[in-house]
Amino acid sequence: MKKKKKTHKSGPRKLPGKYRQLLEFFQGNPRKSFNYKQIAHKLSITSEEQRQDIIKILNVMEKEEIIEAIDRGRYRYVPDFSLFTGKIEVTQRGAAFVIVDELEEDIYISKPLTGMALNGDIVTVELTRQKKGSRMEGKVIEIVERARTEFVGTVQRMKKFAFVIPDNSRIHVDFFVAIDDMNKAKDGDKVIVELKGWPIGTPNPFGRVIKILGKAGEHNTEMHAIISEFGFKTDFEENVLADADAFPDAISPKEIAKREDFRKTLTFTIDPVDAKDFDDAISFKTLENGNYEIGVHIADVSHFVRPHSALDDEAYDRGTSVYLVDRTVPMLPERISNHLCSLKPNVDRLAFAVIFELDKNANVKNYRITKTIIHSDRRFSYEEAQEVIEGKSKEYGKEIQTLNAIALKIREKRFKNGAISFESDEYRFTLDENGKPIEVVKKVRKEAHKMIEDYMLLANKTVAQHVFTKIKKPLPYRVHEAPNVEKMAFFIQTAKKFGYEIKTESHETISSTINQMVEKSEGKIEANILHPLAIRSMEKAVYTTKDTYHFGLNFDFYTHFTSPIRRYPDLIVHRLVFDYLNKKGGGNAEDIEKACKHSSQMEQRATQAERASTKYKQIEFLSEYVGETFEGIISGVTEWGIFVELKENHCEGMVRISDIKGDFYEFYEKDLCVVGRRTGKKFGFGDTVKVQIKRTNMNKRTADFNLVNG
């Protein structure tokens, strides 16, 4: 945390008026330091007399604690440390933290001092306490900007008014709704409520119902509620659909003439068995020199979604497709994603491709980036392609087995160069006809999945490297920064508890020791704890024009080129690369960066929505097993409870500390454990325990467990 500065004794207004520009200069560069010569140059002051005046006024400003000397003759602005503006993040317990860009540490706000702030708002905070060695604490004194004005919740109706209870556990107040603002909503309805205002002195914000989603607890209602809660839409406006419908099914001869024709080259898609859109295809042929021409063809979405059209504006706003437990909320209308841009078999389709010449050792001998027209010969599911790889099917056996052999070598090189090999288990729900979860099934990733992934990674890497090194113009890169060792401390400590040493001397040692942990823990119960924990301890991957490095893959250059149907940054990449290749000018770095930031935010929202839908189905699944006992692993420890992930179905719930019988348990944050004051009995992260399902709460998406054994 930065050292606290005193509030200005007499304030900047006591400075002589003619030196006001000096104060404004420092305020405009709050994080930088300058000597008097640099200041004179920046302010175009040339005479020696005026330079001496600068020195005098710097001395005055230092005495007034407006600036501080951080080195001999170098000064930096000292902001008034009593007020800050930042984003408030409310915890599930009701307390909050305000994130301020200028500070290295967040400001803690106790629940009674959050005022009228709601999670995500931009607020002004006044510091109330900052003792040396302790965290900064404050109170909210102003709402600068609301993060949102629409919320999802359940109606609790009285005779003359109603309340809407928010689904979001980080919104800790209910919305008061007058009868005239109910919009025919009934008790128990799941609705979207709009914030009308929050009169001073009232305990609840006022709202009005603007949409009824259905009865709380019904499958479709809850899925629509999750979509709305995170700011996504299920339907497309008429003008967007009209844009999509305006394109003819047939491809004109003029368009075909502009492209490389791969319709007579063997081409196929490999996707999940239940996939509805096929946005990537692989072409294959053996060259006369014994090498292989392997094409990675990506649906040419940019041909249909033109800049600033209604389709484009909608795709930009959504940023990404969202994948809930039972459905996809697409970025683009079905006519685009499932028809015109779906690389279906036995029809001509437009693509943007990276065509590689590779030898049998997976060395790239040549490549070209070009628009193509393809005619897919076969649509494989992953399972069907796997049967070919394993020799159980002969269909295109030589070609697919050759593709897989080369992909294996691409993968080996990637891991040898320091890429991290995470293979954590993933699970999905089997739902009945009413959307009720009846089974938890492990997703199996075999060679067919990895083969396609290898070629997609190769295409993404190649496009990024080509633009950065040869074209040298802005592009949205997919960047994953190297991990902060301090942030990794708990993961390192936990891995050590299971017998794995994570070394942090360099990026290479971090990668190699994590890979060793992944390999040695494969198939063991701790893998489900350590692998996700390792991922959470690292930086999040984001889109940006400002860097190119991807730590997880250990690529110097990486972008997203391979899925413009479902990711808006890929669509930007397609447009820019095509323009660059055809000498049509360059993209505006500032505009691209703005789109990158928006896309990163929407991606995070989509991830949160996907997790919320999974969590809801987990709790619904556990509701059928209340009273039954399971074995699990402690997956988290807080001051109020320990979280346990059940081994059998990988659902999670919490044992409240107050419910642990036989002793008074205290929380030890550093070691992430609770310890009995009398018995010394300890429950910590990664421990195996037996629990009984005590109760479930569908509205809050929580499950409470009782500890069965010690």
pLDDT digits (tens, 9 = 90+) for 33-80: 888 888 888 888 888 888 888 888 888 888 877 888 877 788 887 766
Q: DSSP secondary structure string, 356-414? A: EEE-TT--EEEEEEEEEEEEBSEEEEHHHHHHHHTTS--TTHHHHHHHHHHHHHHHHHH
CA-nearest of 193, 161, 197 to 179 is 161
**AA identity, residue 667:** F
Helix segments in 522-588, DSSP class H? 527-537, 568-581
**Contact call for residues 255 and 350 (beta carbons, < 8 A):** yes
Name the residue type at position 599.
S
DSSP-assigned states of every residue in 461-515: HHHHHHIIIII-----EEEBPPPPTTTTHHHHHHHHHTT-----SSHHHHHHHHH
With beta carbons less than 8 A apart as the criterion, state whether 572 and 592 touch.
yes
464: closest CA among 349, 598, 569, 318? 569
Question: What distance in Å separates the CA atoms of residue 553 and residue 556, rounded to the nearest whole number?
Answer: 9
Residue keyed to tokens 């800790």: 172
d(C-alpha 98, C-alpha 107), whole Å: 5
CA-wise closest residue to 22 among 7, 4, 44, 3 = 44
Residue bearing tokens 């809407």: 164
* d(C-alpha 562, C-alpha 352), whole Å: 9
Domains of the chain from N-terminus onward: 12-77 (1.10.10), 83-145 (2.40.50.140), 150-216 (2.40.50.700), 238-443 (no CATH), 626-707 (2.40.50.140)
| pLDDT, position 457 | 98
What six digits make up the tokens of 110? 């106790």
> Which residue has 């295109």 as its token pair?
396
CA of 357: how far to CAs of 257, 287, 395, 406, 556, in Å? 23, 9, 24, 12, 21
Q: What angle do CA 615, 616, 619 make, to 5 degrees?
A: 85
Show Cβ contacts of residue 448 under 8 Å, excluding neighbours closer than 6 positions.
Answer: 270, 380, 382, 383, 385, 386, 389, 404
- Contact criterion met (CB below 8 Å) for 691 and 709: no
CA 547 to each of CA 558, 560, 697: distance values in angstroms, whole numbers, following the listed order: 10, 14, 44
Strands 348-358 and 292-299, bridge-based pairing: antiparallel
Task: For residue 73, count other CB atoms closer than 10 A to its CB.
Answer: 12
The answer to whether 442 touches 450, Cβ cutoff 8 Å, is: no
Order of strands across the sheet with 74-77? 33-34, 74-77, 67-71
Q: Is the distance from CB of 70 to CB of 35 less than 8 angstroms?
A: no
Q: Residue 483: name the closest of 450, 514, 442 by CA.
A: 514
Low-confidence ranges of the chain (pLDDT < 50): 1-15, 18, 132
